[in-house]
Structure 1
Amino acid sequence: MRFAHRWIIGITCLILVWLLHFVCWDLVELFDVQKSTTAAPIELLWWSHHFSFVYDEVRQCGAFECRVTNKRQRLSSARAVLFYGTALKTGDFPMPRSPQHLWALLHEESPRNVIYAPFDDFLQHFNFTSTFSRYSDQPITTQWLPSAHDLISMDYTMSFDFKSSNLNGPSPSVVFLNSDCDTMSGREDYMKELMRHINVDSFGSCLRNKDLPASLQNDYLNNLYSPKLLRFLSRYKFMIAIENAVCEDYITEKFWRPLVVGVIPIYFGSPSIKDWQPQKKSAIFVSDFPNAAALGRYIMELSENKTEYDSFRGHKLNRSHPIQNEKLLHHLITYPHQTREYDFFETFECAVCKYATHSGPIKRANARHYNCPLVPIYAPLESKKEPERATDWRSAMEVGQCQARILDTFFRSNKPYNEADFEAELNRRMDDNRCSIDPKLH
């Protein structure tokens, strides 16, 4: 009880320090706001088609107030233009760009979705970023973790003995739930090898060998943390957690969801993942094994050893000190992404509102704000050969680099252009072998 009391006191102190920091920061910033209380709020314009409705409202962000809209006719009045990465289109940027316009990018996805996003040629044109990278202006590294409470809650956690019972199926009790079957990380190729060595229940579209219960078959991809799905997954001992691409700090529900339900993740993805686990030993890392056969042997051994298995679940079973990672604790307290009421877009809007209102030097983003390797990295295969689609993904990244360079050219010329202009230039460069490729892509 003494340790639990100390842990609670420590967390309380951290929260108080965090609150004091942000209250003081807002007050300091307030003195720098160069507008009268009667002036109209500055405007932020969403330049994105991800809204299916007209959006125009005043957003109160602490001491700051901004008008946020997606009405493109308001472009001349906007102080900042907001872009949502998933909805980016190469031929749809507001040109010419006014000197008053700050550009802000919100992008939570890997290069799997936008292949020109990792390149400095593209990123340097943005003044504010919010990505999974810890080096972005508003990091959203832990966006897929619902809350710190979910990490330590015992709501879905089942005992080792229950997981080992005959009712729960054959050892080693591994679940794979994925429906993106063409990934930069070579996830499918690695899983084919692993499934030759151990039993894996595969329920998604990829390598499916079992069907989900009828109650879970409808739209489970849009209900990643539904209570029904969490209860279903919690009976397994292990869950495959291989990201669709490898980028620093790119961590999705693949990692957090098994931790929430007391299942050990078998993880491959972010090279910096050990910076984010709740304790020093919270997951099995594919990169620690030379191949799938070695990993399979380890999983079989671990699945029969109660003491060793539970040592991976300290965030659930160590009630006095469940989260021992100070960096993770600091991030959970500092960034406002860990509440069930968290609104992904509103939080970004407020971050840009403060940045756009606060006077100071204008910044430019760079490749670290996204922080992905230019060459796709994949899980180690027994055969020592590349995944089936490795060449295709390398070629895709080469096209992405060419696209980024074309966008850089168009942005610098600062003249209107459209998608047809962009495609024509891309085709010209490719036909003339003028898409000079960075040696790092080979």
Structure 2
Amino acid sequence: MPMDIRKAQGLHVVIGSAMIISYCVYMDPFLIFSNHVNNAAGVVHMVVKNTNTTHTILWWNLPEWLVRFPKKCGNCYVTTHKSVFDKSSAVVFSLANSNIGTHPPVEKINRNLNQIWIAFSLETNVANSWNREYRNKHWSYVFNWTWNYRPSADIYMQPGRVSERLKPLSKNYSLIFQRKKRFAAWAVSHCNAHSLRDKFVKNMRLYLKNKSIDIFGKCGPLKASKSEMPDLLNNDYKFYLAFENAFCDDYVTEKVFANYNNDIINVVRGKANYTKIFPEGSFINTNDYRNIYDLIRHMIEVSENETLYSSYLIQKDRVQVWYNREEEYRLSICDICRKLNDPYLAKKYIADTEKELGQCMKPSDI
């Protein structure tokens, strides 16, 4: 090989090594836990430290519940001031909120070509059905990224996180079983949901003789505060009905996560693949039964068999669940920041934002 070629190759190796070292020093890693139980070690996301470049993330129509959440990550700052629209690196539009407009704020020809537009929604198309604005044809091929509850999203905001415990919990499961005298609880305030869960619970009750499903919230006669519910579930009830308000692709809300660490068996109902999130044998899925009668028969069997009931709790206690919406939001902002700082950022235009949120269906087992 000629000497000048070998020298050139050697120079490339030195430069490449220097770039890698600089990159590692330049980046600030933080660890986030995987949503998969078998990946408890987590994945490392890299966020660029403060540099001479500042990225502004503009919320076009910020949901009210996000007002108090973090406004900074690395060299990225979050604002709601539309006066910085032209200079913003990213603009976030909340699909579930009003004031998005039937038309984009500027024509595509007048748009900042270096700007990323993000479609945000933690609700399904069913929940967003009242807002027709983002379904307007003028929003086609406008958004560059999605930010939602689906793992396929560009910015994936999880409803909660699961990681395997280094040491499984040790409890007196016999005592837990013995102290629970009530069958099932359901806390619900969204009545007559698209998923027909009200009708499903009504049908469940038809097969219960000396057992009951106690309904708390606006859709039932019983009342309990958020602070009171954990004690009720831990001490009194054997099952909690964690039923989704809509059957949509990948849609899992905080219902399961919020109660998972309690000494109770969650009965889930939705279109998501729950075994990809929680350990198999740690919950009961209504979709695994031919009909409601078979479901109730199994629940009664579990409720009356200490060994069987305890097996669910033991499986559940293999993992720990975190549910913190503010932290999930912070991680999402940092994910946006990481992508904005990526020199090889790929840009795309989304044809149908509604389609990106996944398909919804009426259940067929009622």
Q: With the length of structure 2 as denominator, give the TM-score of the two structures.
A: 0.72
Change (3 A) 1:66 1:178: same
Q: Tell me the residue number matched to 2:32.
A: none
Q: Hey, what's the Cα distance between the residues in 1 that align with 2:310 and 2:247?
A: 28
Change (3 A) 1:105 1:90: closer
Superposed displacement of residue 305, structure 1: 1.0
Question: Deviation per CA, 1:203-232, whole angstroms, max 9, x where unpaired?
Answer: 1222x24333xxx2xxx3xxxxx4x42122
Question: Deviation per CA, 1:98-120, whole angstroms, max 9, x where unpaired?
Answer: 14231112321122321369979
Q: Tell me the residue number matched to 2:358.
A: 372
Secondary structure of the 1:130 match is strand
Question: Deviation per CA, 1:229-285, whole angstroms, max 9, x where unpaired?
Answer: 2122122111111100112221122222332102111111133122111x2211111
Q: Tell me the residue number matched to 1:286.
A: 286
Q: Hey, what's the Cα distance between the residues in 2 that align with 1:137 and 1:248?
A: 16
Q: Tell me the residue number matched to 2:184.
A: 174
Superposed displacement of residue 78, structure 1: 1.5
Aligned partner of 1:87 among 97, 101, 105: 97
Q: Which runs of 5+ in 1 are unaligned?
A: 1-10, 31-35, 221-225, 324-328, 333-337, 382-442
Superposed displacement of residue 53, structure 1: 11
Q: Tell me the residue number matched to 1:106.
A: 120
Superposed displacement of residue 361, structure 1: 2.4
Aligned partner of 2:223 among 192, 207, 211: 211
Contact 2:40–2:163 under 8 Å retained in 1 = no
Change (3 A) 1:160 1:190: farther
Q: Hey, what's the Cα distance between the residues in 2 that align with 1:244 and 1:118?
A: 22
Q: Hey, what's the Cα distance between the residues in 2 that align with 1:310 and 1:76?
A: 59
Change (3 A) 1:76 1:271: closer
Aligned partner of 1:129 among 141, 146, 149: 146
Q: Tell me the residue number matched to 1:239.
A: 240
Letter in 2 for 1:59: K
Q: With the length of structure 1 as denominator, give the TM-score of the two structures.
A: 0.61
Q: Tell me the residue number matched to 2:194.
A: 184
Aligned partner of 1:354 among 313, 316, 338: 338
Change (3 A) 1:251 1:60: closer
Residue 47 (structure 1) aligned with residue 63 (structure 2): no
Q: Tell me the residue number matched to 2:348.
A: 363
Q: Tell me the residue number matched to 2:82.
A: 72
Secondary structure of the 2:340 match is helix
Residue 254 (structure 1) aligned with residue 264 (structure 2): no
Letter in 2 for 1:350: C
Q: Hey, what's the Cα distance between the residues in 2 that align with 1:50 and 1:368?
A: 19
Contact 1:154–1:316 under 8 Å retained in 2 = no
Change (3 A) 1:237 1:38: closer
Q: Hey, what's the Cα distance between the residues in 1 that align with 2:200 and 2:66?
A: 42
Q: Hey, what's the Cα distance between the residues in 2 that align with 1:160 and 1:118?
A: 53
Change (3 A) 1:73 1:246: same
Secondary structure of the 2:333 match is helix
Residue 301 (structure 1) aligned with residue 301 (structure 2): yes
Superposed displacement of residue 159, structure 1: 3.5
Change (3 A) 1:117 1:295: farther
Letter in 1 for 2:259: P
Q: Hey, what's the Cα distance between the residues in 1 that align with 2:167 and 2:244?
A: 23
Q: Tell me the residue number matched to 1:265.
A: 266
Q: Hey, what's the Cα distance between the residues in 2 that align with 1:54 and 1:312?
A: 39
Contact 2:265–2:313 under 8 Å retained in 1 = yes
Contact 1:105–1:130 under 8 Å retained in 2 = yes
Q: Hey, what's the Cα distance between the residues in 2 that align with 1:342 and 1:150?
A: 23
Contact 2:57–2:91 under 8 Å retained in 1 = yes
Contact 1:197–1:293 under 8 Å retained in 2 = yes
Q: Hey, what's the Cα distance between the residues in 1 that align with 2:229 and 2:206?
A: 26
Contact 2:148–2:156 under 8 Å retained in 1 = yes
Superposed displacement of residue 88, structure 1: 4.2
Contact 1:135–1:368 under 8 Å retained in 2 = no
Superposed displacement of residue 286, structure 1: 0.9
Q: Hey, what's the Cα distance between the residues in 2 that align with 1:180 and 1:259?
A: 21
Superposed displacement of residue 340, structure 1: 5.0
